[in-house]
Amino acid sequence: MSTTLDTQQAAVNTIRTLSMDAVQAANSGHPGTPMALAPLTYQLWNHHMNYNPAQPNWMGRDRFILSCGHASMLLYSVLHLAEVAKTDKAGNLTQGKSITIDDIKNFRQMHSPCAGHPEYGYAAGIETTTGPLGQGLGNSVGTAIAAKWLGATYNRPGYELFDFDTYVVCSDGDVMEGIGCEAASLAGHLKLSNLCWIYDDNEITIEGRTELAFSEDVAGRFEALGWQVITVTDANDLAALSAAYKKFQATDDRPTLIIVKSIIGFGAPNKQDTSGAHGSPLGEDEIKLAKENYGWTAEKFHVPGEVYEDFRSNLGARGESAYASWSEKFEAYKKEFAKEAAELEGIQTDTLPAGWQDALPVFDADEKGMATRASSGKVLQEVCKAIPWFIGGSADLAGSNKSNNDDPAAGHFGADDYSGKNFHFGIREHVMAAICNGMSLSGIRAYGATFFVFTDYLRPSLRLSSIMHQPVFYIMTHDSIGLGEDGPTHQPVEHMAACRSIPGVLVMRPGDANEVSKCYQAALEDKARPTVIVLSRQNMPTFDRSVYGSADGVLKGAYILKDTDGTPDAIVMGTGSEVVLCVEAAKQLEEQGVKTRVVSVPCWKLFDDQSEEYRESVLPSSVTNRVAVEAGIKMGWEKYLGSGGKFIGMSSFGGSAPFEELYEHFGITEKAIVAAVKG
C-alpha cells in the first residue's frame, strides 16, 4: 500500500519522540541515535522487511539486529508501532503486544522488557542481546549462515522455504571493534548475499568526534573484504534508503554495507546536537524545541492513530500474506518430504530426535586409553549422525581438536556449498563464538572448537551465550599443563576458574572416554545453558566400569568413582587427566589402611543442581579430610574442600617441557596426593 509523505513523516517522528520521551522519563539512555536513524528503520521495516508482526517467531522471517544496542529505543519504538505479538518464554503466542506504551514509559526500569540494551527473551522481536559493540555483527553472520544452510539443506524445487535476509544497524563503535572486522572478513569470504549491514556514519563516539581515533576508509576496507558498498548521503532521504535496500535485495554474490550519513540528534539537516544527546537525556527544554521543530504535540508518548494503521497496512499486510503463503507451502512440503519436515519442526521447537542418546558410544576398558580430545572426536561423529542439525567447526584447529564431522556426505560449508556441515572459522576465535550464538538463535545446535587457552579471546561471546540461554557447545582441547612443550602461553592454568565463574555456563572436564560420552549427553539435553567441554591432549586410561562407578554419574556433575568399605577416612576428588592420579593414590592409601573414596567431578554446576541429599551422599559433611586435584588454580574448589581440605594443582603459570616432567615439577603426583591425605 502506498503511504502519504505526511504519514511517513508522522511515523518517523513518532519513533523519534517516543525515544526522547522514554529516555527523559528514565533520566538515562541514548536518544540521539534513535532520533537520527528513525527514517532508515521506518523505511526498512514498513516497506522492505519480510516479517509478520503477528508471528514473530516464524522461521522464514527476515531478521533485524540492532548491533548498536545503546540505541535500544529505536528497536522498542518500531516493535511497538508494528504491534508485534507477545509470546511467552517458550515462544508461544499469548494475548497482547510485545512492547506496549506502558513498557516504553518504563524504559530502563525493573521488570520492563525495555531494558537499557536489547535483551533476547525479554520481548518478541528482539532477535539477540546486544550491548557490547560488535557482538550483533558477529551474531548476524551466524543468522545469515543459518539461512544459507537451512536453504541449501531443506529447500526443494517449488518449496523455497528459507531465503531470509538479515539486516543489521551498526555504529562507528561496531565497525571499530576487532570482532566486527573478523565478522566482515568471514562474511565476505563466504559471500553471504543475504546479509546487509547498515552503518550509521555519524562521526560521533562517547568521547567526541571519531577523528580522535578513527580515520580509515571504511568503504575501501569493506570493498577489499569482498562486500558491496552503497552510500546514502542523508539519513532522512527515504527514497535513497529504499533504493539502497532494493539494490541489496537484488545482489546475489556478496554481502552489502550501506553507509548512511547521519547527524546524531534531531534527525533534521543542520541540527547537530552535542555529544550529550548521544549518551544522556536531552532535557525538557530541548525536547520541547525538538517537538516544535517537528510540528509535534507536546504530549508525552504520543502516537497518532494513522501511524499504527500505516504499519498495519504495509508491514502487517505484507507479512501476513507472506506468512500464509509460506505456511501453505510448508504443509504441502510435510506431505512430500516428511523426514525433512520433521527435522525442521525439531529445529523450530528445539526438540532433538527421539532416541538420539542411543548413538552415544560406550568405550571398552583400556589401560592405555586415549586423550579425551580423541574420544570426543569419536563421540562427535555419532552425535552428528543422530542430530542432523548439530553442526559447527573450528577456529583453524580441527585436526588438533578432532572437531571435523568425518562423514563423507557432511561436506564443508562455503560459498560453493552452503549445505556443508563442517565450518572453517579461520583464526577468528571471538567471532566464531558470536557466529555460533547467531546460529543457535536460528534453531541450530551449533558447536565451535579451539584450544582452551583461547577462551580468553572468545569469553565475551561465551558470556552472551549464557545471558541469552543459548545451548552453544564449545569444544576446548589442550586443557592444562598436560599439553607440554608449547609452554606457559598455551597452558590454561586459570581458565577453568574463569569459565566456571560465568553464571550458567556448564564447564565439563571429563576423566575418561565414557565420561566424554556422557558429557555430550548432558550438554545436548540442556536447552538453556552453553557448555564448555575441556579436553586433554595426553592419553588417559578408560576405566573398567564393572569395577568403577557408572559413567551415568556424569549427568549429576559429580559421582563416586571408587569407594571404600563403610565411611571413608578421606575423600580424594579430581577432574580430567588428574582423576587417574586420584585413583592410583587411593589404591596406595588403602594398602596403608586409609579408607579412601574417589570422586570424579566433571561438572560443578550440574553437581550443584542436585538435591542436598545426593550431594551429601557423595561428599558427606562428616568427612573433612579432603583433597582436590586439578592441573589448574585452586579458585572455587574451597566450597567442596571445606576449611580443612587441601588442594594439589597450580599456583603459577606452567613451563615448557614434556608433560610428565611438568606434572612432577609442579607436584601434581600420586605421591603428593598420598602425602596430603596422610598429612
- 328 belongs to the catalytic site: no
C-alpha grid cell, residue 525: 539435553
Cβ of 131: how many Cβ atoms within 10 Å?
18
Q: Which helix (H) or strand (E) holds 240?
A: helix 238-249
Cβ of 401: how many Cβ atoms within 10 Å?
24
**In a shared domain, residues 311 and 392:** no
Percentages helix, strand, coil for the chain (3-state, rounded to 5) are: 45, 15, 40
Looking at the predicted structure, is the pLDDT value of residue 272 above 60? Answer: no
C-alpha grid cell, residue 381: 561423529
**In a shared domain, residues 580 and 508:** no
* Sign of the C-alpha dihedral computed for residues 51, 56, 59 and 64 taken in this order: positive
547 inside domain: no
pLDDT band at 5 (very low <50, low <70, confident <90, very high): confident
413 inside domain: yes
Of 510, 507, 613, which is closest to residue 554 (Cα–Cα)? 510
Task: Provide the 3-class DSSP secondary structure of residue 475.
Answer: strand
Residue 274: its pLDDT value, please?
35
Residue 644: give the domain boundaries: 553-678
333 inside domain: no
335 inside domain: no
Residue 627: its pLDDT value, please?
98
Of 278, 266, 279, 280, which is closest to residue 235 (Cα–Cα)? 266
Distance (Å, rounded) from C-alpha 359 to C-alpha 386?
6
Of 24, 73, 32, which is closest to residue 277 (Cα–Cα)? 32
Distance (Å, rounded) from C-alpha 300 to C-alpha 378?
62
Output the domain CATH number for residue 558.
3.40.50.920
pLDDT, average across residues 25-38: 94
Residue 212: its pLDDT value, please?
75
Distance (Å, rounded) from C-alpha 615 to C-alpha 120?
33
341 inside domain: no
Looking at the predicted structure, is the pLDDT value of residue 1 above 60? Answer: no
* Sign of the C-alpha dihedral computed for residues 490, 491, 496 and 498 taken in this order: negative
Looking at the predicted structure, is the pLDDT value of residue 277 above 50? Answer: no
Distance (Å, rounded) from C-alpha 250 to C-alpha 312?
26
Q: Decide: 496 and 601 in contact? Cβ < 8 Å.
A: no
Instruction: Read off the DSSP letter of residue 204.
Output: E
Looking at the predicted structure, is the pLDDT value of residue 300 above 80? Answer: yes
Residue 176: its pLDDT value, please?
94
**In a shared domain, residues 581 and 646:** yes
Instruction: Using the structure block, give the residue that is written with the C-alpha cell 576508509.
Output: 217
Q: What percent of the chain has pLDDT over 90?
A: 94
Q: Decide: 439 and 142 in contact? Cβ < 8 Å.
A: yes
Q: Which residues pair with 562 in a beta bridge?
A: 598
**In a shared domain, residues 67 and 160:** yes
184 inside domain: yes
If one compares 187 and 3, the residue with the highest pLDDT of the two is 187
**In a shared domain, residues 446 and 517:** yes
Task: Provide the 3-class DSSP secondary structure of residue 362.
Answer: coil
pLDDT tens across 555-612, in order? 999 999 999 999 999 999 999 999 999 999 999 999 999 999 999 999 999 999 999 9
Instruction: Using the structure block, give the residue that is written with the C-alpha cell 565411611.
Output: 567
**In a shared domain, residues 568 and 432:** no
Q: Decide: 419 and 410 in contact? Cβ < 8 Å.
A: no
**In a shared domain, residues 268 and 373:** no
Q: Burial, 158: exposed, middle or buried (Cβ in 10 Å; 0-12, 13-18, 19+)?
A: exposed
Domain boundary among 541, 568, 586: 541
How many domains in the chain? 3
Domain boundary among 480, 507, 541: 541
Residue 604: its pLDDT value, please?
98
Catalytic annotation, pick one of 119, 286, 429, 630:
429
339 inside domain: no
Q: Decide: 65 and 142 in contact? Cβ < 8 Å.
A: no
C-alpha grid cell, residue 198: 547498515
Instruction: Read off the DSSP letter of residue 242.
Output: H
Average pLDDT over the chain, rounded to an integer: 95
Looking at the predicted structure, is the pLDDT value of residue 655 above 50? Answer: yes
**In a shared domain, residues 373 and 498:** yes
Pairing of strands 390-394, 208-209: unpaired
Residue 301: its pLDDT value, please?
97
Domain boundary among 541, 569, 591: 541
Residue 206: its pLDDT value, please?
67
**In a shared domain, residues 36 and 184:** yes
515 inside domain: yes
Say which residues have a Cβ less than 8 Å from residue 44's Cβ, sequence separation at least 6.
64, 167, 198, 241, 245
Q: What percent of the chain has pLDDT over 70?
A: 96
Say which residues have a Cβ less than 8 Å from residue 579's Cβ, sequence separation at least 6.
511, 512, 540, 561, 598, 600
pLDDT tens across 207-262, in order? 677 677 778 999 999 999 999 999 999 999 999 999 999 999 999 999 999 999 98
Looking at the predicted structure, is the pLDDT value of residue 267 above 60? Answer: no
**In a shared domain, residues 380 and 447:** yes
pLDDT tens across 119-173, in order? 999 999 999 999 999 999 999 999 999 999 999 999 999 999 999 999 999 999 9
**In a shared domain, residues 255 and 397:** no
Say which residues have a Cβ less than 8 Å from residue 449's Cβ, sequence separation at least 6.
392, 393, 394, 395, 397, 398, 401, 403, 474, 475, 476, 477
Output the domain CATH number for residue 74.
3.40.50.970
- Counting every residue written for the chain, the total comes to 679
